[in-house]
Structure 1
Amino acid sequence: MSKRIVCLRHGQTLWNVEHRFQGHSDIPLDETGVAQAARAASLLASLRPTAIVSSDLQRANDTALALGRIVGLEVSVDKDFRERGGGQWEGLTRDEIAARWPEEYVAWEAPDGEPVGEVARRVAVAMRRWADRLDHDGLLVVTSHGAALRLGICEMLGLPEELWPALGGLGNCSWSVLQEGRKGWRLLEHNAGTLPEPVNSDDRPEA
């Protein structure tokens, strides 16, 4: 066996349901999100994770804690796993964003938000930093956010930025699995766990 990373997106929030851009806003899980986190924890516990690390935002941290309680692991916190910052878009619905910033909406680039390249790099650097602490057969669960995880995974795989849209989004409490190989990291599984539930994310609208 070799090192693996399970990239787990947080459970549902009210802002997910309302299609509001959350970004760095610290929005809690709703009742459905709490149930999703418990279900995901029961499934992922069978993988016997050896370490859990979470974004510092409560929707991700509470999702991670649900798993930590089952497997008896403490949850570490790393703010580098935060969601992509949305600037003035945070708290607004996609319709409101499209009406006020039509050109930026098409590109999904908030004028004062965090560029996708910066998000991809900070998340991938953090993933590698935590993976370096694992034993050769360790399994790390990273609990984070839809856009942050998708972009970080693309960077971990070494995909050029023009191909990043080819990787679809992550549903609430869905996960992807990365494994370290002789030639770098590879994607074993993507957006598993909660299909066919819809993907509601701060990621691009088509996700």
Structure 2
Amino acid sequence: MILLLLRHGQTEADILNVHEGSADFPMTDLGHAQAERMAQYISSRFNPDIIISSSMTRTKQTTEHIAKSLNTEVVFEPRLVEWNNGVLAGLKREEAIKKYPMPPNGRPITEAIEKGESELAFRHRVEEAIYEILERHKESEQVLIVSHGGTISHLINVLLNNSITDGMIFPTADLGLHCIEIKNGKKIIHFLNYSLDRFQ
């Protein structure tokens, strides 16, 4: 199986400089343009059997561009949404630092921010989703997942069997694309975080 992991495009939260996470901001005009370019790139090089998308607005909007160019079945998976950052969602970053400062030694992975979820709960949610996806679509040759930066980082760590305590983070740019092949029990990393904006 070729597994493609794609992040959504630029959102209004990026312009407003607020914490996004579980805040459901739509994409900007630039985000839509980014998604359209990536749709053309993917359709010229890949042929996913299915697109599995987070159920948030920004990923749905990204998925619309990709699906239109591929004419492929789309399934929405709520467990692929971004980290539930509780009281931080939609809050200006400078205000968040004052109202909810990070503990001196960081927040334990088992401790949830107010009205949110812990890093460990986030990891478990994503892990459950990807294992179910791999089992359900094991006969597929190519699967495209459209999700979020934090979710994708966890997805890659799960696929590589990295522990949550290893501290491995895989950043993803707007419309960043990752390609991992699963073959005979091996994980072949073809590329990580490919961005058309970086390679124009």
**TM-score category, normalised to shorter length:** 0.7 to 0.9
Distance 1:170 1:48 in 2: 22
Question: What corresponds to 1:176 in structure 2?
Answer: 178
Give the letter aligned to residue 167 of structure 1: I
Q: Is the 8 A contact 1:23 1:86 kept in 2?
A: yes
Residues 116 and 151 in structure 1, CA contact (< 8 A), matched pair in contact too: no
Among candidates 20, 26, 36, match of residue 22 of structure 1: 20
Distance 1:54 1:16, change over 3 A: same
Q: Deviations over 1:65-106 (max 9, x none)?
A: 111111111311110111100100001132222222223497
Asked if residue 55 in structure 1 is aligned to residue 17 in structure 2, the reply is: no
Q: Cα 1:141–1:105, aligned 2, differ >3 Å: closer, same or farther?
A: farther
Structure exhibiting the larger radius of gyration computed from Cα positions: 2
Match of residue 40 from structure 1: 38
CA RMSD of aligned residues (A): 2.2
Say whether the 8 Å CA contact 2:4–2:180 is kept in structure 1: yes
What secondary structure is seen at the aligned counterpart in 1 of 2:42?
Answer: helix
- 1:25 corresponds to which letter in structure 2? A
Unaligned runs of 5+ in 1: 198-207
Q: Which amino acid aligns with 1:23?
A: G
State percent identity of aligned pairs: 22
Matches of 1:78 and 1:99, distance apart in 2: 34
Structure 2-normalised TM-score? 0.86
AA aligned opposite 1:29: M
Relative to 1, partners in 2 of residues 1:88 and 1:58: Cα closer, same or farther, differing over 3 Å? same
Q: Give matches, 1:102-117, under 5 Å.
A: 102-104=101-103, 107=106, 110-117=113-120
Structure 1 residue 157: Cα displacement: 1.2
CA contact (8 A) 2:156 2:170 kept: no
Contact 1:20/1:92 (8 A) holds in 2: yes
TM-superposed CA distance for 1:172, in Å, is 0.8
Structure 2: runs of 5 or more not aligned: none
Q: Aligned pair 1:91/2:97, yes or no? A: no
Task: Name the counterpart of 1:196.
Answer: 198
- The 8 Å contact of residues 104 and 111 in structure 1, kept in 2 or not, is answered as no
| CA 1:116–1:181: 2 relative to 1, 3 Å | farther
